[in-house]
Amino acid sequence: MTLKSKLNLSIASKFGLAMTTLLIVSSGAYADSFTFTSPGTVVWDSVYVNPYQANDNTQPAQNPLTIYCDDWNTEFSGDPTWDANVYALNAANVANFKYGTITSAESVTLSGGMLVGGTNNSPNPYTLYLEAADLDAQLQAYLAGPSPSNTVQDEFAAAEWLIFVSSANASGPSGLISAINDSGSSFATAVYNDLVSAQTAVADGFNGAGWDVIVPNDPSSMQEFMVDTVPEPSAIILLGTIVGLLGLAQFRRRVKA
């Protein structure tokens, strides 16, 4: 298995100290060192899907951490330790995010049960990050429920990856969209519905409270992650990135099996 996940995280946030501090000091950024520990066991299209596990080397009391990748464009290998800036998810911080200043983003429509790609020019990056956080929150709640399905987990991950997928990436939007469509019309329809659900949630007032963005210091070689600083008791803990791949040493933002 080859892991496609980008993981050079330089995190700026004292997660261990007081989770509430992250909510209060919304404009602050904190630096932490993290180590990827597990990509999980669920694979879609030869790629490990959200969520992943990591350790916070600065605040070990919070380990293990659960993190969600929004970054389909970057890859990493091995069991990296990385540094990153951690920012609260709010409008004041969005310019510091990896994709906080993008001028175009992927846009999809559904036709005959298949996704059709397009371009969203002059998008609102803050809105896109809120949509990504909502998808993560939905996935978190779903996995905390009884007998979660791997397929539904795959669908949520694919939906989030579509938000910031870049044409500059070798597999780009067309590659990701093709992979989704190749998984069948019901899969493509579910991914589309997940995206619409996130858009609706944001339009209805979802504000990403409690979510942070882990922005890698080296954006060219490490992925960006999102973390819930106040996760549900039954859900996995906060922040991280996945390392180790069931004996496989290569990690790319998408986990290739």
Question: What is the 3-class SS of 27-71, one letter each residue?
Answer: CCEEEEEEEEEECCCCEECCEECCCEEEEECCCHHHCCEEEEECC
Burial class (CB in 10 A: 0-12, 13-18, 19+), 251: buried
User: Tokens 């069948």 correspond to what residue?
Assistant: 184
CA distance 178 to 167: 14
Q: DSSP assignment, residue 8?
A: -
Two structure tokens written together for 76? 């990493």
Instruction: Identify the residue with better confidence: 99 or 2.
Output: 99
Written as one letter, the residue type at 183 is S
- For residue 55, list its beta bridge partners: 35
Burial class (CB in 10 A: 0-12, 13-18, 19+), 149: exposed
User: Tokens 């100290």 correspond to what residue?
Assistant: 17
Mapped to the 3 state alphabet, what secondary structure does 176-194 carry? HHHHHHHCCHHHHHHHHHH
Q: DSSP assignment, residue 77?
A: -
User: Ranked by mean pLDDT, which of 4-13, 69-78, 235-244 comes out on top?
Assistant: 69-78
For residue 38, give the nearest of 1, 79, 74, 10 by alpha carbon.
79
Burial class (CB in 10 A: 0-12, 13-18, 19+), 233: exposed
Two structure tokens written together for 95? 């310019």
- For residue 227, list its beta bridge partners: 212
pLDDT digits (tens, 9 = 90+) for 107-134: 999 999 999 999 999 999 999 999 999 9
Q: Which residues contact 198 (CB under 8 A, 6 or more apart)?
A: 131, 132, 134, 135, 138, 159
Task: Provide the pLDDT for residue 9.
Answer: 31
Mean pLDDT calculated for residue range 72-82: 89
Q: DSSP assignment, residue 248?
A: B
pLDDT digits (tens, 9 = 90+) for 152-185: 999 999 999 999 999 988 899 999 999 999 999 9
pLDDT digits (tens, 9 = 90+) for 186-243: 999 999 999 999 999 999 999 999 999 999 999 999 999 999 986 544 333 333 333 3
Q: Is the pLDDT of residue 10 over 70?
A: no
